[in-house]
Amino acid sequence: MSDAQAITAFKSTLPVKSWTQDKGVIEPYLHEWRGRWHGETPILLLPASTQEVADAVKICAHFKLPITVQGGNTGLVGGQVPQGEVLLSTVRLNRIREANADNLHMICEAGVTLQAVHSAVDDLDLKFPLSLASQGSCTIGGNLSTNAGGVHVVKYGTARDLVFGVEAVLADGKIYNGLNPLRKDNTGYDLSQLLIGAEGTLGIITAASMKLFPKPQNNICILAAVESPDNALQLLNEVRYGNRLSMFELIPRLGMDYVTRNIAGQKDPFSAEYPWYVLLEWEFANGDDPQKFTENSLEKIADNGLILDAVIATSQAQTAALLALRENLSASQKPIGATIKHDISVPIAKVPAFIAQANAAVTRHTPNCRPLAFGHLGDGNIHYNIGQPKDMQPEEFMAQEPEINDIVYDIVCALGGSISAEHGIGILKKPQLGRRADPVKLQMMQTIKTALDPDNILNPRNIL
Ligand SMILES: Cc1cc2nc3c(=O)[nH]c(=O)nc-3n(C[C@H](O)[C@H](O)[C@H](O)COP(=O)(O)OP(=O)(O)OC[C@H]3O[C@@H](n4cnc5c(N)ncnc54)[C@H](O)[C@@H]3O)c2cc1C
């Protein structure tokens, strides 16, 4: 049996719109946005239904042909870029099948973008709280497969917390239907949760039943200047009670510099420069008095001297301007040259220790490198991106990546943290996972993989 026979089988089984070998059409699917991975594939499959995904996977199973799945292609660990495998894109699995305001659930297909979900639930005066800067492109299937996090984890949890169940095509082409909208269901193993965060290695998610929430009546966004990560942590302790806090993001001065210098239209809202900033958001339900709550809270915090200065957004435009400072942090690092990136988590209380220890260690290793620690302090997830020294060639700096990774991940592990907080393992972190994960965990993962995908055809280069 040859790959050519499998290609013939795809062409004769799937509708003509559901596959292509046109190089021009395939090209954009072979690169990810930062240009770090470039791929190749003999054929791009574009199924428009769960049954078509199942038909395609049955052919792969029959010919033992590996297959890579791609959603919005915004993943940051390389797992969605094929290296010679068949490529299956979920772009045409784009229907919202059901939205129910009484049961607060929605069933949508894997290729629906996160932004499309937001628009649909907004029309119902409801909220789906997953929120990422990539939401215009990333898909629900990708979000669940990576167990995406984002800025609202502090209140709503990660993608896996926002789902009742999924529908997925397994490695033999069978369809698993876990699309119930039940808040209670203790009928054995939770197989949907097994598929979530599996990065496409255990099944192809084709649809999901997702939790919706009442839309907050009001929200208040504040950018607060603070002296240090320690003070930011103390501030978190002051503002997180009462289930109102929905965002708590840390931004260093260097980040504010990058965004305001490198991204058109971005302005520092303060007239003075401060060492650190916290972007926080409170959500308010009916009956709350946002103004009064904010005044009282800030007055209390001002008394203990934690905040050096603060800007409170008083309009949607001002809120959008504050949020844009945070959302543009990743893009603003592009012009500074090469960066070595880490997406780590530690227990929330240890974030200041992580930042202090990592900054000291990486600058000792590579003098004049530019560490930038930012992100989701509210849930302990810090993006730790180290910019090259200004006077070093990018290639020379990137050659140090393995050593710098070890330095950073040693500190993370010593603090009881995780080497991947929200981006996943993909191919990027596979060697680190192999070295650092509990061997029993790795063995259990391998046992599950072998049981569900004995010929290793689903995303075979990812994770294990
Ligand atoms: C600017 C920017 C900001 C970002 N911010 C965040 C953030 O705040 N938090 C965060 O968690 N991530 C963030 N990301 C990373 C990325 O957006 C998320 O990982 C997202 O969930 C990926 O979705 P996607 O549809 O693009 O998936 P892809 O990139 O296409 O795929 C990602 C992985 O999931 C697998 N996969 C995709 N669809 C399926 C499916 N239907 N079934 C099975 N496997 C599948 C792929 O094979 C791959 O391994 C950001 C990325 C960018 C570019």
Nearest Cα neighbor of 39 from 441, 461, 413 is 461
CA 51 – CA 56 distance, rounded (Å): 9
- For 431, residues 6+ apart whose C-beta sits below 8 A from its C-beta are none
Looking at 89, 106, 138, which one is the last position of a domain? 89
Distance from Cα 66 to the centre of ligand 1, integer Å: 20
Pocket probe mutation, ligand 1, options 41, 117, 132, max atoms within 8 Å of Cβ: 132
Rg (alpha carbons) of the chain, rounded to whole number: 23
Confidence check: pLDDT of 2 > 90: no
**Is the residue at 461 inside a domain?**
no
- CB 33 less than 6 A from any atom of ligand 1: yes
Same domain, 166 and 193: yes
Read off the CATH number of the domain in which 126 is found: 3.30.465.10
Minimum CA distance residue for ligand 1 atom 11: 148
Tell whether 417 is covered by a domain. yes
**What six digits make up the tokens of 463?**
């994770």
pLDDT tens for each residue of 372-391: 999 999 999 999 999 999 99
- Which residue, of 327, 359, 375, is where some domain finishes? 327
Residue (of 161, 148, 145, 158) closest to 195 by Cα position? 145
Residue 450 domain-assigned (yes or no): no
* Residues 313 and 370 grouped into a single domain: no
pLDDT at 458 (0 to 100): 98
pLDDT of residue 252: 98
Residue nearest to atom 28 of ligand 1 (CA): 73
Determine which residue's CA is closest to atom 18 belonging to ligand 1: 75
Q: Residue 180 and residue 166: Cα distance in Å, rounded?
A: 8
Mean pLDDT for 272-301 is 92
pLDDT score, position 3: 86
- The residue whose CA has the least distance to atom 16 of ligand 1 is 75
pLDDT digits (tens, 9 = 90+) for 125-155: 999 999 998 999 999 999 999 999 999 999 9
Look up the CATH number of the domain holding residue 295.
Answer: 3.30.70.2190
Is position 111 within any domain? yes
Q: How confident is the model at residue 1 (pLDDT cuts 50, 70, 90)?
A: very low
Asked whether residue 202 is assigned to any structural domain, the reply reads yes
From 86, 87, 146, the mutation candidate for ligand 1 (largest count of ligand atoms within 8 A of CB) is 146
Tell me, what CATH number does 388's domain have? 3.30.70.2740
Quickly state the pLDDT bin for 314 (edges 50, 70, 90).
confident
Question: Using one digit for the tens of pLDDT, what is the confidence trace for 24-38?
Answer: 999 999 998 888 899
Digit-coded pLDDT (tens) for 77-124: 999 999 999 999 999 999 999 999 999 999 999 999 999 999 999 989
Q: What is the pTM of this model?
A: 0.96
Please report whether residue 452 resides in a domain: no
Distance 63 CA to ligand 1 centre (A): 28
Residue 67 belongs to domain spanning? 3-89
Does 132 sit in the ligand 1 pocket, CB within 6 Å?
yes
Q: Please check whether residues 354 and 317 belong to one and the same domain.
A: no
Q: Are 195 and 223 in the same domain?
A: no
Whether residue 375 is found in the same domain as residue 407: yes
Ligand 1: nearest atom to the Cα of 151:
8
Residues 78 and 104 occupy one common structural domain: no
449 within domain boundaries:
no
Q: For 409-440, how does the pLDDT look when each residue is reduced to its tens digit (9 = 90+)?
A: 999 999 999 999 999 999 999 999 999 999 99
Domain boundary among the residues 157, 181, 214 is at 214
